[in-house]
Amino acid sequence: MEVQQFDRPAEFTEAARPLLMQDEAVNGLMIGIAQALCAGERVAAQPFLAIVRDGMAVVAAALMTPPRSLILSHASADASRQLAVRLGGSAWRVPGVVAPNESIGAFLDARQDVTGQMARPKWSMRVHRLDEVIPPSPVRGRLKRAREAERALVLRWAACFAKDLDEPTEFAVPAAQRHLAAGDVWLWEDGAPVSMAAVARRTPHGAGISLVYTPPELRRRGYASAVIAGLSQHELEAGNEFCFLYTDLANPTSNHIYREVGYHPACDVREYVFAARDDSSG
């Protein structure tokens, strides 16, 4: 097996496409980020872009936009180890890794062997796919595209969304600004905005949904189901074959909501974060 790195997102996307498109929804996060990089989306530092070849076949792909975690595709234990060894022997700082459950163990073991770094679990997640919307119970209100006049509300809710996930707002708020500028933030309005969702990433045939947020005082009224179902239906009618999203397996409420409107499990993934190289506490 051989690891091949790329400096240009377009070259990586072309090389990784045959592998990633075998399961477009499961690989939607990596595909969507790669497409955004090809379109000129700015990132904080040079991204890490690599594939693993076994002869002529591409058997794994990895993408990282520092300071975010490395994203790893489905990969054999050998391919995962190859990538971990390549990164461990380089100057790349890897804060963490997100990968399907069956791919992540070999990567973690090899990274610890090479760098001595310990990993701790951060998230257990599930990728869900929707091909047809199941209409939820009717609730008052309507779906509407967020406008520039609602920027302050959208950014405030994006910050709340990040805090609910114990994530830094430094990622969620700029992302919400981009999605708002692209017309990809949607609100459920019942007299006033009561819930939000956005198309965060796009793939050749799908739309990735994120930034789903309802203020605590407005929850359990069906607004989240309404905005998710409405936006998903909009994206299907716009020509997408499917929608996809990530859920936290520790949150049974959100998993239930998505299942009720037609999302079904596609793959379980985990995220681990690594201790700093000089952190002897592990």
Q: What is the pLDDT of residue 277?
A: 55
Kindly state the percentage of the chain with pLDDT values over 70.
98
Give the span between the Cα atoms of 270 and 282, in whole angstroms: 19
- Per-state percent for the chain, helix, strand, coil, to nearest 5: 40, 30, 30
Residue 213 confidence class, pLDDT cut points 50, 70, 90 = very high
Instruction: Kindly report, residue by residue over 91-102, the tens digit of the pLDDT.
Output: 899 999 999 999
Give dist(CA 23, CA 266) in Å, integer: 9
100-119 pLDDT, tens digit per residue, is: 999 999 999 999 999 998 99
pTM of the model: 0.91
Convert the pLDDT of each residue in 16-26 to its tens digit: 999 999 999 99
Domains of the chain: 2-125+270-274 (3.40.630), 133-261 (3.40.630.30)
Kindly state the tokens that stand for 49. 């872009």
* pLDDT tens digits, one per residue of 132-149: 999 999 999 999 999 999
What is each CA distance from 121 to 46, 124, 215, in whole angstroms? 26, 8, 28
Q: Look at residue 281 in the predicted model and tell me its pLDDT.
A: 38
pLDDT computed for residue 50 by the predictor: 98
pLDDT score of 278 more than 80: no
